[in-house]
A and B are shown apart, each in its own frame.
Chain A
């Protein structure tokens, strides 16, 4: 069966390593924070200027001057630092953030990502997404494998305006984990009970399947 949003987040959380600085985008990526594996410590970066984002505040802790990049009230974790937007994007642009997890409308086999603009619909802006995809060492995209009409979101070439070029390394969808390299999607894992054929059928771009593809483990 296709993974739930929580299961996608759980699988992405397996990409976290002890000591990682991680930026989590809005939506499914935000849920990843709930599934940090036991025994490892990561620091969450929020691009409005917080390194070491903690949980939501209690009623007593709420402070209008303490928010995350989603404009939600938040707390600072022990060991946190707060700084300006320029400093925040210096650490992003400078490649100091180990892992960025973000959503997308489309990804293609060249590692290009489209996540901010659908022509004809109102454009709200890219926020920090373009800076994040241009700067992070390691980018994981989370999205559904196909849209609600069944159209693949893993394409040979993105059709929507891009957020960044050649930057996506890994994709975790509700059906599969894939790596992007050498101009193709390489199937690494499949969701429990999902066949390689189904993944093949829902991947419009070039898909490389080599050997037996294991099911994801949770």
Chain B
């Protein structure tokens, strides 16, 4: 087929080129909207010394947490990491480095990275440990911290629907960090629930235009729920 076909048929092909020491940006919030099969593929490949950028690091035995089991992650950039015992253990042992980053700043770092903005000023974190060692500036009477953008060798995201052009649509709050992560990878891989025929996605309803996406793979998702809350009725 001539032209744009970003669909790959195997997880091996989806993550081909990932090497030790690379930076991987992952979409998802907790276990919601995570590229489960791509994470499993990284575990299978045994790639080491990775810097992983994601809001959280999964839980013990699921999500990015499985990459801790064989110590594949050297450094984690995240806003909240409290959900796994293994993470705590490796952090306290000094086997794992963590850069805690405010959630909005993390999203903006990815967005800026993908948009060619090298750094930005934000009031978030001024006067806190987050600002230590960073340039600050007063603008119109408020204090701001200069935060550098983030880009990744790979970005791995989960979407609901994709077409072979790499256009993506996310589902409900499984969107979260995925659109920004998708823009910030040199190679962005989207693991999706459904691949639709070209033209099926309404152009004005596409969340992530295909230009940001290099590979698309159809995945099967467990979609584990972290805190199942139910109301009677």
Contacts of A126 in B (CB 8 A): 79-80, 100, 102-103, 130
Q: List 12 A-B contacts (CB under 8 A).
A: A64-B225, A65-B171, A84-B179, A85-B103, A86-B179, A122-B92, A125-B80, A126-B79, A127-B79, A127-B103, A130-B104, A165-B128
Does A134 count as interface, using CB distance less than 8 angstroms? yes
Does B62 count as interface, using CB distance less than 8 angstroms? no
Q: How large is the interface on B (under 10, 10 to 19, 20 to 34, 35 or more residues)?
A: 35 or more
Report B52-99 residues with CB < 8 Å from chain A CB: 55, 78-82, 88, 91-92
A82 and B130 CA atoms in complex are apart in Å by: 29
Cβ A131 vs Cβ B224 within 8 A: no
A74 and B231 CA atoms in complex are apart in Å by: 10
Interface flags, B108-145, vs A, CB<8A=1, else 0 = 10110000000000111111111000000000000100
Cβ B31 vs Cβ A71 within 8 A: yes
Q: What is the CB-to-nearest-CB distance from B135 to chain A, in angstroms, rounded to a whole number?
A: 17
With A56-B230, A65-B173, A82-B175 known to touch, is A134 a contact of B224 (CB < 8 Å)?
no
Cross-interface CB contact of B124 among A50, A72, A134, cutoff 8 Å: A134
With A65-B173, A135-B123 known to touch, is A89 a contact of B107 (CB < 8 Å)?
yes
Q: What is the CB-to-nearest-CB distance from A114 to chain B, in angstroms, rounded to a whole number?
A: 9
A64 and B176 CA atoms in complex are apart in Å by: 13
A49 and B207 CA atoms in complex are apart in Å by: 14
Does B229 count as interface, using CB distance less than 8 angstroms? yes
A128 and B56 CA atoms in complex are apart in Å by: 12
Cβ B102 vs Cβ A56 within 8 A: no
Cβ B224 vs Cβ A161 within 8 A: no
Contacts of A68 in B (CB 8 A): 173
Chain A contacts to B: CB under 8 angstroms:
46-50, 55-59, 62-68, 70-74, 76, 82-86, 88-89, 92-93, 112, 117, 122-131, 134-135, 161-165
A162 and B102 CA atoms in complex are apart in Å by: 13
A66 and B108 CA atoms in complex are apart in Å by: 22
Cβ B176 vs Cβ A131 within 8 A: no
Q: What is the CB-to-nearest-CB distance from B195 to chain A, in angstroms, rounded to a whole number?
A: 18
Cβ A66 vs Cβ B173 within 8 A: yes
Cβ A48 vs Cβ B173 within 8 A: yes
Cβ A85 vs Cβ B180 within 8 A: yes
With A48-B32, A56-B229 known to touch, is A65 a contact of B174 (CB < 8 Å)?
yes
Contacts of B82 in A (CB 8 A): 122, 124-125
With A64-B224, A64-B225, A73-B225 known to touch, is A58 a contact of B231 (CB < 8 Å)?
yes
Interface flags, B193-219, vs A, CB<8A=1, else 0 = 000000000000001000000000000
A71 and B232 CA atoms in complex are apart in Å by: 19
Cβ B173 vs Cβ A93 within 8 A: no
A213 and B224 CA atoms in complex are apart in Å by: 51
With A57-B230, A85-B177, A89-B103 known to touch, is A130 a contact of B128 (CB < 8 Å)?
yes
Contacts of B224 in A (CB 8 A): 64
Does B223 count as interface, using CB distance less than 8 angstroms? yes
Cross-interface CB contact of B105 among A48, A73, A123, A131, cutoff 8 Å: A131
A64 and B160 CA atoms in complex are apart in Å by: 13
Please give me the residue from chain A that is nearest to B224 by CB atom.
A64
Contacts of A162 in B (CB 8 A): 127-129
Cross-interface CB contact of B173 among A50, A92, A123, cutoff 8 Å: A50
Beyond the given pairs A57-B230, A86-B179, A125-B100, 4 more chain A to chain B contacts, judged by CB atoms under 8 angstroms and listed by A's residue number, are A59-B230, A67-B226, A71-B227, A164-B127
Interface flags, B161-189, vs A, CB<8A=1, else 0 = 00000000001111111111000000000
Cβ A65 vs Cβ B102 within 8 A: no
Contacts of A46 in B (CB 8 A): 173
Cβ A130 vs Cβ B125 within 8 A: yes
Please give me the residue from chain B that is nearest to A112 by CB atom.
B127
Cβ B108 vs Cβ A86 within 8 A: yes
With A89-B107, A130-B130 known to touch, is A73 a contact of B123 (CB < 8 Å)?
no
A89 and B108 CA atoms in complex are apart in Å by: 8
A83 and B122 CA atoms in complex are apart in Å by: 21
Cβ A67 vs Cβ B124 within 8 A: no
